Amino acid sequence: MTQQEELEKLYAKEKTYKVPKNPKEGQVQATIVCKPLSLEDMSYLEFNEGDSPDKIAKAAANLFSKSFGITIEQANKLSFEYMEELLDIVTDTNSLKGKEAKKMDNLKDFMKQKEELIKQKNEKSDKRTEG
pLDDT in tens, 2-48: 999 999 888 889 999 999 988 888 888 999 999 999 888 888 887 77
pLDDT in tens, 104-123: 888 888 888 888 888 888 88
Contact in structure between 22 and 88 (CB atoms under 8 Å): no
Task: Record the pTM.
Answer: 0.79
pLDDT for 76 equals 93
Q: Which of 72, 83, 87 is nearest to 113 (CA)?
A: 83
CA distance 76 to 70: 10
Q: Which residues of 31-65 are buried (b: 16+ CB within 10 A; e: fewer)?
A: ebebbbbeeeeeebbebeeeeeeeebbbbbbbbbb
pLDDT for 109 equals 84
Q: Is the model's pLDDT at 80 over the cut of 80?
A: yes
Instruction: State mean pLDDT over 84-97.
Output: 91
